[in-house]
Structure 1
Amino acid sequence: MLKLLLNLNLANKLTLARILAVPILVVLLHFPSRATCLAAMMVFIIASWTDMVDGMVARRYDQVTTFGKFLDPLADKILIGSALIMITANGWIPAWIVVTILAREITVTGLRAVAVEQGVVIAADRYGKLKTVVQIMAICPLTLHFPWWGFEPNGLGMVFLYLALILTVFSGGNYLYKFYKNWLYEKEMD
């Protein structure tokens, strides 16, 4: 296992670091206090930052790999899903929102897997990428939870969370449409 980790390129190590940050985030949010929530938000921000950096490194230094293409979106889903689940477990956001977001993520992942089997790649589009950014913008203040210098971060977090929910549903519908369109095209070609 250690040999495998040492042989990974920098982009894949950054992606793996995002996954390894999840247990730390979960433990911090499991014992919510002002200090642990601040630490959780910092861990989340750093882990989210690796998503942008690993892609830049992979493209710039020609380190794009099949392993990275698989691991990168999975790492995003694990990080964001874990943060949302822990925030929900603390009773800070409604569970139905998280269920909707996670259902979309599982559905799109499944559609992508079926599409790949058919030889079709359904890449992330701008709505999916925007959805991820807005989810991150929601999770940061929601993770802080406690008032800071008279500022209640939950209100801002909820505004971003509802916006993320709208983008989640819209981008999920867009992926379904693309999949259906490609599937119909394949059926017509048969």
Structure 2
Amino acid sequence: MLNLANRITLARIAATPGCIILLNFPNKLSCLFAVLFFLAAALTDFLDGYIARTQNMVTSVGKFLDPLADKLLVISLLVMLVQLQTIHGESWAPAWIVIIIIARELAVTGLRAVAVEQGLVMAADRWGKFKTVAQIIAISLLTLHYPWFGLDPKPLGKFFLYIALALTIISGANYFRSFFKAQRRSEGPPA
């Protein structure tokens, strides 16, 4: 149960509170460390999957923990970015975008549970992978927040957040389309 791949996944879960604590006291240094924690944790997502597949360490626990760790990390940071406000009272991330992203994650998680119950496999597709990369870039840039070497990361962060939003909608719709298509195939033609 606690093989190397699952321990790496648990480390990703453990990194989430560290990011939240650092963002509770936002300043240039704490934001930098929060991004470093976040990126290290995000990179473990690729590492634990690779190790699990290549070392034959795929377990039911890992299949449960891996997506949970991803969602905890991304959703926690997005919620923190909504909570944090600039001097002008503007959120570091628009709440409406974060709500759509969270709603998609919950809907796809529920859909996957229904699919498993029906014996259907709902593997991650390329749109979901693109969405994840866009979210990681957006969250990193928005969390940096303060100007670095004369460059303001916020506009580029918001640009990637809008890209992540579009990919969130596309990948979510694709999951539902794939589910209904697989469901129709499994039922076969009407008698």
TM-score (norm 2): 0.93
Q: CA deviation at 1:124?
A: 0.5
What's the offset of the Cα at 1:25? Answer: 0.6
1:21 maps to which residue?
Answer: 15
Higher deviation after alignment, 63-72 or 108-117: 63-72
| Structure 2 equivalent of residue 120 of structure 1 | 120
Q: Give the superposition deviation at 1:185.
A: 3.3
Correspondence for 1:67 among 61, 68, 73:
61
Task: Structure 2: state its 5+ residue gaps.
Answer: 85-90
Q: Name the residue aligned to 2:51.
A: 57
Deviation at 1:69, TM superposition (A): 1.0
Cα distance in structure 1, aligned partners of 2:111 and 2:189: 20
Cα 1:72–1:136, aligned 2, differ >3 Å: closer, same or farther?
same
**Contact 2:120-2:183 within 8 A present in 1 as well:** no
For 2:149, what is the secondary structure of its paired residue?
coil
Identity of aligned residues (%): 55
Deviation at residue 30 of structure 1 after TM alignment? 1.3
Q: Distance in 2 between matches of 1:109 and 1:135?
A: 17
Q: Which residue of 1 aligns with 2:88?
A: none
Q: Describe the superposition over 1:89-116 as per-residue Cα deviations: whole angstroms up to 9, x where unpaired.
A: 1021110000000000000000000010
What is the alpha-carbon root mean square deviation over aligned residues? 1.2
Residue deviations 1:116-155 (CA, integer Å, cap 9, x gap)? 0001111111111111011001111111001112110001
The answer for the alignment partner of 1:174 in structure 2 is 174
Indicate yes or no: 2:144 matched with 1:144.
Answer: yes
Q: How does 1:29-178 map to 2 (within 5 A)?
A: 29-90=23-84, 91-178=91-178
**Structure 2 partner of 1:3:** none
- AA aligned to 1:27 is I
C-alpha distance in 1, partners of 2:184/2:99?
29
Deviations 1:51-80 (A, max 9, x none): 011111112211111111111111101100
How many positions carry a matched residue from both structures? 184
Name segments (4+ residues, structure 1) moved above 6 Å.
none
Code of the residue aligned with 1:105 in structure 2: it is E
Supply the AA of the counterpart residue of 1:17: A
C-alpha distance in 2 between matches for 1:167 and 1:100? 11
**How far apart are residue 182 of structure 1 and its match?**
2.4
2-structure distance, mates of 1:41, 1:189: 51
Could you tell me which runs of 5 or more consecutive residues in structure 1 were left unpaired when the two chains were aligned. Answer: 1-6
Distance 2:187 2:46 in 1: 37
Equivalent position amino acid for 2:159 in 1: V
